Amino acid sequence: MKLYTKAGWLDVPHVAEVADRNNISIIIIIGKRQIGKTYGVLQYMLDTQKHFILLRSVMAEMDMLKHNVANPFDAIKGYENRVVFESETQYTANIMWLDVSEEGDKKINIGMLSALSAVGRVRGINGRQFSDIVYDEFIPESHLLKVRNGGDAFLNMYTTIAGNREIEGEKPLRVWLLANSNNLDNDILNALNITNVVEKMSLRGEESRILKDRGIMVILPDSQQITEKRKKGALYRAIGGNSKFSQMAYENAFAYNDYTDVGAKPLQEYKPLISVGGSFTIYLHKSDKILYVCDMVDANARHKYSQSDYDRMKFARDYPEVKAAYLRGRFTFQNMTVKNAFLDYLDLL
């Protein structure tokens, strides 16, 4: 799949063309910083005259844009000072196109700005008018607030905006999920059951994958042409290539995830100890005290727990030594997806 323009930027129109051919409704783009993700997708929205929603995670991010501070459209060549935000409600703003002509200036509504944390509070949204949702920075940086139960919030938001269009023979609502490679532990990736796919792609250096049967496309762009130019800049020269920030921004690595205790083990050497329904099983090595967690839910496990709040508390009460064993480094995990599920269950994230 052709991912880049001749200049090395992400080729969003081609990505959209491939998505159209394969009936893709969810496009996930996670990549290095400043290789044309947000710029390219917003330019595509304007060039093709889409009526779209620009979505951020929390209201603090949205409020800044509502006041036209750091307006992302001003960075797009040919559209400077042509797209502005006008506050509509506490939770939304209209995206307005400034049409300048000899007959007089007028503003045309081309979309809506909102935050995932706020969508559930907005009543009476006519979602059928929107063809696309552009969710920018859906994986928040480590110092920013996350949306509580963000996965459920995203799925509910999609259902509300999509409405009955597919039942009535219309095209599905398309979502563009854009982010830097900050952290694999993300509620939306988990809700879409795609975290493991993203992890495998990242480890293999795979830049694109189309899951046609699921209507999902995953792109992990790694434009070396742009990267080499970025590495000549002042920031890279100042901090070098060994920091977590550098690995995320310049190498497209999920550097904020600790892989030191991640690696598949031969399951025949272990016996099932604790099974957590729909998520993972903790195994104990047959000859030593090493513990291993994998995504197989083993029916032969000695003890079984569900994902309910009650069982989470019961697990913590029954097995306080599990958390202590993890902190002492006695655990190995099949992959990062399983590790994150384990840490979340033990409230260690």
Instruction: Give the length of the chain.
Output: 349
- Contact between residue 180 and residue 139 where contact means Cβ atoms under 8 Å apart: yes
Q: How far lies 24's CA from each of 17, 168, 307, in Å?
A: 10, 18, 31
How do 26-31 and 174-180 pair as beta strands? Answer: parallel
Euclidean distance between CA atoms 344 and 25, whole angstroms:
29
- pLDDT per 10-residue tile (average), the chain, 349 residues: 86 96 96 85 97 92 85 92 87 89 81 87 75 93 68 91 92 95 83 91 90 96 64 55 49 65 91 90 91 88 92 94 92 91 87
Look-up of token digits 């990242």: 202
Euclidean distance between CA atoms 79 and 85, whole angstroms:
14
Euclidean distance between CA atoms 91 and 113, whole angstroms:
9
Q: What is the DSSP string of 258-284?
A: --TTB----GGGEEEEEEETTTEEEEE
Q: How far lies 306's CA from each of 8, 10, 274, 318, in Å?
A: 47, 43, 11, 14
DSSP structure class, residue 251: H
CATH code of the region 12-251: 3.40.50
pLDDT at 244: 52
The reported pTM is 0.80
Residue extent(s) of CATH 3.40.50 domains in the chain = 12-251
- Contact between residue 8 and residue 226 where contact means Cβ atoms under 8 Å apart: yes
Give the SS3 label for residue 52: strand
Q: How far lies 9's CA from each of 6, 12, 17, in Å?
A: 8, 9, 16
pLDDT at 50: 97
Euclidean distance between CA atoms 145 and 57, whole angstroms:
8
pLDDT at 210: 97
Euclidean distance between CA atoms 63 and 89, whole angstroms:
11
